[in-house]
Amino acid sequence: MSDRFEGSFTQQEPIPEDGITAALDVMRHGRLHRYNLADGEAGDTALLEEEFAAFTGARYCLAVASGGQALSIALRAAGVVPGDPVLTNAFTLAPVPGAIVAVGARPVLVETTEALTIDLDDLSTQIAATPAARVLLLSHMRGHICDMDRLMAICDAAGVQVVEDCAHTMGAAWNRISSGRHGLIGCYSTQTYKHMNSGEGGLIVSDNAPAMARATLLSGSYMLYDRHRAAPPQEVFNGLTLDTPNMSARMDNLRAAILRPQLVSLPERVAAWNARYAAVEEGLRNTPGLTVIERPEVESIVGSSIQFLLRDWSAAAVREVVARCSARGVELKWFGDETPIAFTSRYDHWRYATPRVLPRTDRILAGLIDMRLPLTFSLDDCALIARIIRAETSAVWQARTARSASS
């Protein structure tokens, strides 16, 4: 009888005990709102901002209610106004174009490479074709980082500001520079399936004082920005306070208390994710018909998920692989499906973004398989999962090859 995997692809590791203790302390004193502080108290939200700024090497940090709110606030802080075109990846998740539309702007989608990163040649073409676009919302989708040196050279030359969506790259780096630190603003998520877990939450980092002052006011500071420890100097806020709306997107002290211990242990967890990624990658390498995504040496990854391509397979054959793996307990997500399922969708599902046809992206998404790697998996689990995927993919590939040979 074939081996079957019995674990859960959605079960995250528990909140660490020191995070639970810190959360209980906040609940016992009742000061959950970030500005509800006792005399001399900094508050967990302000301390988290200070600690995350240090972790990324940023001057400033702001904690907000969700990763999506982080993106919307960052776009407004970067000067995006209703009607503006905003460049972004075609291969990303719905909250990215959603954030653009939420501020009244228009997404301009850019093609995708087989490395699952933004196509820099097409980016140059779209910048030239859309001279009014002054911001790129760059999604490091599923943790894949493009050549950031070349991207920044393209954008700097064209006067395009870069806002980085780092929901999948907290703890990652390109050429030893932390993800989120190349552009004007970096945005992170602390939703349950990301690298730190507070259920929902977001973090924004920047070295640009005016942009971060606007972001702080947008988040809903009630003019209490002097209580932020990782904010720009007070004089930077002068002239902004009466013209910046309050979006009520603050993080609270309860979620910050849960996150602070997770930030301390993040490097250790990154190493654990990467060990699991390597185990699955090694097990899948050289599988007939399956293409592993090669990662550049200068990219420091966080392997919390893994992707591979069934390049130019028919939709029926891809569905068969997904179904056969599911029957053995392995949950694969397919970005080529005609309808969005759970956390996967593709650009032509976002009718509100009025997307153009993107043939190179279409070809990639048609064969793109995605799989989570939660830290609740052991290395033995990962080896078993890889064996199952390898066996079922090989079986479908061989049947497909046999049919082609006989036709």
Ordered DSSP codes for 163-184: EEE-TT-TT-EETTEETT-SSS
Q: Write out the CATH class of domain 267-406.
A: alpha beta
Chain-centroid distance, C-alpha 103: 20
Q: Give dist(CA 291, CA 368) in Å, integer.
A: 10
Q: Give dist(CA 143, CA 170) in Å, integer.
A: 9
Instruction: Give the mean pLDDT per block of 10 residues along the chain (407 residues).
Output: 88 95 97 96 98 98 98 98 97 95 97 98 98 98 98 98 98 98 98 97 98 98 95 95 95 98 98 98 97 97 98 96 97 89 82 92 96 97 98 94 74
Structure tokens at 179: 């993800």
**CB 398 within 8 Å of CB 287:** no
Of 239, 232, 180, which Cα lies nearest the Cα of 209?
232
**CB 74 within 8 Å of CB 62:** no
Structure tokens at 180: 């989120």
Strand order in the sheet with 173-174: 177-178, 173-174, 299-300
Structure tokens at 241: 């306070």
Q: Give dist(CA 34, CA 45) in Å, integer.
A: 6
Structure tokens at 298: 């200068």
The DSSP element (H or E) to which 153 belongs, if any, is helix 148-158
Structure tokens at 171: 């703890």
Identify the burial level of 80 via C-beta atoms within 10 angstroms of its C-beta, where 0-12 means exposed, 13-18 middle and 19 or more buried.
buried
Please give the single-letter amino acid code of residue 131.
P
Q: Which ranges of 227-378 would DSSP assign to H, the alpha helix?
A: 253-264, 266-284, 315-327, 359-366
> Quick one: CATH architecture of 17-264?
3-Layer(aba) Sandwich (3.40)
Position 407 scores a pLDDT of 65
Residue 341: CB atoms within 10 Å: 11
Position 1 scores a pLDDT of 47
Residue 152, phi then psi, degrees to nearest 5: -65, -35
Structure tokens at 274: 């990467």
Q: Give dist(CA 141, CA 323) in Å, integer.
A: 25
Of 329, 337, 339, which Cα lies nearest the Cα of 310?
337
* Angle ∠(19,20,23) on CA atoms, nearest 5: 85
Q: Give dist(CA 272, CA 262) in Å, integer.
A: 14
* Angle ∠(102,106,110) on CA atoms, nearest 5: 120
Helix (H, G, I), strand (E, B) or coil at 191: coil
Tell me the pTM.
Answer: 0.96
Of 289, 284, 304, 8, which Cα lies nearest the Cα of 141?
304
Helix (H, G, I), strand (E, B) or coil at 17: helix
Structure tokens at 30: 């009742």
Report the phi/psi class of residue 17: left, alpha or beta, with left for phi > 0 and alpha for psi in -120 to 50. alpha
Structure tokens at 20: 């639970």
Taken in order 343, 328, 304, 261, the sign of the CA dihedral is positive
Domain boundaries, the chain: 17-264, 267-406
**What is the Cα gyration radius of the chain?**
22
**CB 61 within 8 Å of CB 196:** no
Helix (H, G, I), strand (E, B) or coil at 251: coil
